[in-house]
Structure 1
Amino acid sequence: MARGARQTPSHKTPSPEERPMRIPDAKLAEVWDRGFTVVEGFLDAETLGAAQDALWEIYPRPEDYFANPGAHPKYARSQFAGLRLFPYPSWALNRVPVYPDLIDAAERFLQTREIDCYKIELWAKYSGAIDYDQHHHRDYENHTIVVPRADQTMPQMTCFILLSDVTELDGPTKAVPLDRTRDIPLGVTQTKMGEFFEDEVAATGPAGSILIYKTDVFHRGSNFGAPGRSRFVMPVDFKPRGWRWQGKLAWPDHTGQPGWKEAMVNMTPRQRDLFGWPPPGDPYWNAQTLADVAVRYPGIDLAPYGARQATREPA
């Protein structure tokens, strides 16, 4: 079987040691100091297994792809041909970017509860489809219309959640520690090919790990080291609310996609808030909006929004 996301994950109730890990403060401090960190065991076993199963609603299983790569020509067109934007057909995937411990990490890293989830993607790669090697680059170029501040205020938090095992052979993201590039002005977004290959660190880890990095850290995609390999990751990005020069996706443009309504119905008020949904107590909520949002999203629990609205507008 080709290496990639496992095909027969367990869906048993996770034991205490399998349950989600709150990302330690020391790991978030490493992102500030080094530019990136990898945390293994981030997703619990049930969440990971269900997400892996749901991948095959979108992508060919590795063994199917490698049995006949010619049947899947799209993956040879671009390094980014395997990208799919949120939402997805399955709640098993849609719940991953709003994983409670991910929200917690973003709040602590950005030092506020007022945060936006501004990008969610799935990314599949298959060895031999195309050359995945890249220059080292800074992601901020398409995450803000200006540049990051050197004093690290107004930051953004970018993540890759690994949905398959990623070894040195599986095209890992490779990042350059900040102390190797501090002399490069922040206005520079790309280096010469190979310039920092000797300094880069491969972000490897078992499925369920998370790579967290800053948008000003130089990093790159790398090619596979062996045939028959595959890689599946979910990039998820957060920013402090209110900085209008930052962002990437406009969520209202995605509301017509399959999976959006189910995702909003299944989320908690805190999770919906990440997409710009009006929170409980917001002046947006009144009898009319409660009724019509319920029509648009059948089955949604609007009690948290209506309870506070009722205290402002007594009958």
Structure 2
Amino acid sequence: MRIPDEKLAEVFDRGFTVVEGFLDKETLAAAQDALWEIYPRPEAYFADPDAYPKFARSQFAGLRFFPYPSWALNRVPVYPDLIDAAERFLQTSEIDCYKIELWAKYSGAVDYDQSHHRDYENHTIVVPRADQTMPQMTCFILLSDVTEVDGPTKAVPLEKSRHIPIGVTRTEMGDFFEDEVAVTGPAGSMLIYKTDVFHRGSNFKAPGRSRFVMPVDFKPRGWRWQGKLAWPDRALKPGWKEAMVRMTPRQRDLFGWPPAGDPYWNAQTLSDVALRYPGIDLSAYGAQAERGATPSPGSARSGASP
């Protein structure tokens, strides 16, 4: 669904918003089925938790980074309505998708309770601006139903925390517990929040429960002090090539793929990229090569001396 403007405005006013019914039913169902290529089904896990000791190692043991074995999961972070929301939130079409994760949690595996914290410490090497310019858009897409007993994320409205300098990144355990709001909703819902918002992970309140979410983050292009994952470092992982082949040029652009019309494209790069990604449609990038683009400044020059 297309996210209403008032929901995006709420992120700036309150610090976060929850959009129910964001993913369409078909996309959601396919993504849920694909989870079991990566994680044990809840019934399998709870039948024998000792068979899956890795989930007991830390709160973050269930994290898996993009790409994934199935296109059903890889297409979720490039969902057209998500791109549209990021463009409107960041007020530019020149955006980067700078982080994609999956996160599975199983009740009883480990203590998931956290104190409130701000996420920006590993999203930027400086701090967010208090005037809310140059923001980043961070999201949690719920791939399972999340109720009060399912270890929901708990966020603190900005009106309760504006008095705390942004340079303070963590609170003591228990601070803001009376002010926090549990982020709950049916599978397919999405939390959008800013990196300077205090929030925390919480513990499950019932046995036999599980939670699956996909965090996806966006930033305006060119702000080099922001980011998290380096996509070339993920390009050898299973699922990457299929994802790039199946994405549209707009979707690839989110990962830093050279856009149509960029001087990067010529007969050689078109030919070799096609070899690297069998089956990819590069027709959108071919017109520039046919015109004979001039190399961009800083590109390698044949015979150039150091």
Amino acid at match of 1:301: D
Aligned to 1:220: 200
- Equivalents in 2 of 1:212, 1:183: separation in Å? 22
- Equivalents in 2 of 1:181, 1:248: separation in Å? 25
Q: SS in structure 2 opposite 1:190?
A: coil
The 5-angstrom pairing of residues 181-200 of structure 1 reads 181-200=161-180
- Equivalents in 1 of 2:2, 2:90: separation in Å? 16
Deviation at 1:310, TM superposition (A): 1.6
Aligned to 1:3: none
Aligned to 2:74: 94
Contact 2:150–2:210 under 8 Å retained in 1: yes
- Equivalents in 2 of 1:245, 1:57: separation in Å? 35
Aligned to 2:235: 255
- In the alignment, structure 2 segments of 5+ residues that lack a partner are 294-306
Contact 2:261–2:285 under 8 Å retained in 1: yes
Amino acid at match of 2:108: G
- Equivalents in 2 of 1:196, 1:151: separation in Å? 23
Deviation at 1:309, TM superposition (A): 2.7
- Equivalents in 2 of 1:280, 1:155: separation in Å? 27
- Equivalents in 2 of 1:80, 1:39: separation in Å? 25
- Equivalents in 1 of 2:189, 2:289: separation in Å? 41
Contact 2:67–2:238 under 8 Å retained in 1: yes
- Equivalents in 1 of 2:287, 2:143: separation in Å? 39
Q: SS in structure 2 opposite 1:65?
A: helix
Aligned to 1:80: 60
Aligned to 2:132: 152
Aligned to 2:156: 176
The 5-angstrom pairing of residues 17-166 of structure 1 reads 21-166=1-146
| Cα offsets for 1:42-98 (capped at 9, x unmatched) | 000000000000000000000000000000000000000000000000000000000
- Equivalents in 2 of 1:293, 1:75: separation in Å? 38
- Equivalents in 1 of 2:121, 2:160: separation in Å? 20
Aligned to 2:147: 167
Number of equivalences: 293
Contact 2:75–2:243 under 8 Å retained in 1: yes
Amino acid at match of 1:291: S
Q: SS in structure 2 opposite 1:124?
A: strand
Contact 2:144–2:188 under 8 Å retained in 1: yes
Amino acid at match of 1:76: A
- Equivalents in 2 of 1:115, 1:189: separation in Å? 26
> Identity across aligned pairs (percent)?
86
- Equivalents in 2 of 1:308, 1:285: separation in Å? 7
The 5-angstrom pairing of residues 224-235 of structure 1 reads 224-235=204-215
Amino acid at match of 2:252: R
Deviation at 1:312, TM superposition (A): 4.2
- Equivalents in 1 of 2:23, 2:288: separation in Å? 34
Aligned to 1:4: none
Deviation at 1:169, TM superposition (A): 0.5
Aligned to 2:244: 264
Q: SS in structure 2 opposite 1:189?
A: coil
Aligned to 1:311: 291
Deviation at 1:307, TM superposition (A): 2.4
Report the TM-score, using the length of structure 2 for normalisation.
0.95
Contact 2:266–2:292 under 8 Å retained in 1: no
Amino acid at match of 1:38: V
- Equivalents in 2 of 1:288, 1:185: separation in Å? 52
| Cα offsets for 1:178-202 (capped at 9, x unmatched) | 0000000000000111110000000
- In the alignment, structure 1 segments of 5+ residues that lack a partner are 1-20
Amino acid at match of 2:190: I
Q: SS in structure 2 opposite 1:78?
A: coil
| Cα offsets for 1:127-178 (capped at 9, x unmatched) | 0000100010000011000000011111000000000000000000000000
